[in-house]
């Protein structure tokens, strides 16, 4: 029955991740952005606590956790630095097409070697073909991706409409500035005659992989939005104008309230969708809606976070401009806002007669 208590074990995971994020990531926020990466010691700590293979099967050296754990961990990491969260995770969303279309065997074969490679950090990257242009010729791929949040790509997983591809060679990267998430790196990616090393087909698998990918992005967004809310609220209580803390002018008090409400609501949608994935219920529409709602929340919270700091918010001495950019950047992928709405809307319109918004089972 409806219960939001994460239980002792999940709470401990969240707590541990939060301490790590606050101690290792927050202080190095700008540093990581400039360095386009995280320091080896931070990476070591991340691997030490077992966050690198969070959703990987235990047999493959992962922690074998599910979507709910993923969204909670992502929120904690991204509340400190969403770019670093991407940089630290060797696998990220690339897991989902392999797991959903190829199963454990594919996960093992293609991702197993990325875990625990202590020396260099390899990166698997997922590209949704909705965000790119590709031509498939026989068993080779040509195409372009305007942006991937990485400076190296060791394994590229491409998610199409009813199939997924794995590519490792023929990948050319051009370093670009990146609008946000620079701690993860940023590249324009080109494939020229890249051999397709594996190809999996399943329209249902793609839908599920896309749902999990969207939740991955949405939960990072939630973390960024939380940081923006918390930072701007604290500032509003300190800063005075017209004889009182700016937070005590109703226009700002209500804005802060609306920001918090938007965040809380979106977070519940994200967590519910993740719970549905773990429980094995259909979750495509719910995950798409959760992503859409989180993006909508970010349209309010990102710019408002800056607004609350006024001119200071515009300056890079404060992190709110970074939160605004990163929230926007995280909203661009997997087809973005419109595709999420379209997917959810289509599923609703072809679904049952009465949208009872049934609780759990359907």
Q: Which of 99, 354, 323 is nearest to 222 (CA)?
A: 323
CB of 352 to other proteins, least distance (A): 10
**Phi and psi dihedrals of 24, rounded to 5?**
-100, -35
CB of 317 to other proteins, least distance (A): 23
**Phi and psi dihedrals of 241, rounded to 5?**
-150, 140
Pick between residue 84 and residue 344 the one whose CB is nearest to other proteins: 344
Pick between residue 134 and residue 281 the one whose CB is nearest to other proteins: 281
Pick between residue 293 and residue 326 the one whose CB is nearest to other proteins: 293
Q: Cα separation of 306 and 3, whole Å? A: 35
3-state secondary structure of 203: helix
CA dihedral 225, 226, 227, 230 (to 10 degrees): 120
Beta pairing, strands 140-148 & 133-137 = antiparallel
Pick between residue 6 and residue 195 the one whose CB is nearest to other proteins: 6
Q: Cα separation of 49 and 319, whole Å? A: 27
CB of 328 to other proteins, least distance (A): 20
Pick between residue 314 and residue 337 the one whose CB is nearest to other proteins: 337
Distances (CA, A) of 321 to 17, 107, 265, 281, 314: 24, 37, 23, 38, 6
CB of 149 to other proteins, least distance (A): 25
Question: 307: buried, middle or exposed (CB in 10 Å: 19+, 13-18, 0-12)?
Answer: middle
CB of 75 to other proteins, least distance (A): 14
Q: Cα separation of 38 and 48, whole Å? A: 15
Pick between residue 170 and residue 265 the one whose CB is nearest to other proteins: 265
Pick between residue 161 and residue 201 the one whose CB is nearest to other proteins: 161
CB of 229 to other proteins, least distance (A): 9
Q: Which of 68, 2, 6, 4 is nearest to 273 (CA)?
A: 68
**How many Cα atoms within 13 Å fall on the side-chain side of residue 69?**
20
CB of 136 to other proteins, least distance (A): 27
């Amino acid at each position: 029955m409806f219960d939001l208590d994460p239980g002792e074990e999940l709470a401990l995971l969240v707590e541990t991740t939060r301490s790590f994020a606050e101690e290792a990531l927050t202080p190095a926020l700008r540093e990581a952005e400039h360095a386009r990466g995280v320091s080896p010691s931070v990476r070591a700590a991340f691997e030490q606590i077992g966050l690198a293979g969070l959703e990987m099967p235990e047999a493959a050296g992962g922690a074998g956790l599910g979507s709910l754990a993923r969204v909670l961990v992502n929120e904690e990491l991204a509340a400190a630095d969403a770019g670093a969260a991407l940089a630290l995770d060797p696998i990220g969303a690339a897991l989902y097409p392999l797991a959903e279309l190829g199963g454990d065997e594919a996960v093992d074969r293609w991702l197993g070697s990325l875990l625990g490679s202590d020396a260099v950090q390899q990166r698997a990257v997922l590209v949704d073909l909705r965000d790119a242009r590709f031509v498939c010729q026989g068993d080779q791929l040509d195409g372009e991706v305007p942006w991937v949040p990485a400076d190296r790509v060791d394994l590229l997983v491409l998610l199409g409409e009813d199939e997924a591809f794995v590519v490792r060679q023929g990948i050319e990267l051009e370093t670009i500035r990146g609008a946000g998430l620079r701690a993860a790196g940023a590249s324009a990616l080109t494939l020229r005659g890249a051999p397709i090393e594996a190809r999996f087909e399943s329209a249902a698998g793609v839908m599920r992989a896309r749902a999990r990918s969207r939740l991955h992005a949405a939960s990072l967004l939630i973390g960024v939005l939380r940081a923006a809310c918390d930072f701007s609220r604290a500032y509003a209580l300190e800063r005075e104008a017209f004889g009182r803390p700016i937070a005590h002018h109703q226009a700002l008090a209500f804005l802060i309230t609306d920001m918090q409400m938007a965040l809380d609501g979106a977070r519940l949608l994200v967590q519910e969708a993740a719970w549905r994935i773990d429980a094995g219920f259909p979750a495509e529409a719910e995950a798409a809606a959760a992503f859409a709602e989180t993006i909508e929340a970010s349209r309010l919270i990102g710019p408002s976070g800056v607004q609350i700091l006024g001119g200071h918010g515009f300056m890079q001495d404060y992190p709110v401009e970074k939160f605004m950019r990163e929230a926007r950047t995280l909203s661009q992928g997997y087809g973005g806002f419109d595709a999420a709405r379209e997917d959810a809307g289509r599923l609703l319109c072809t679904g049952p007669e009465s949208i009872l918004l049934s609780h759990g089972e359907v």
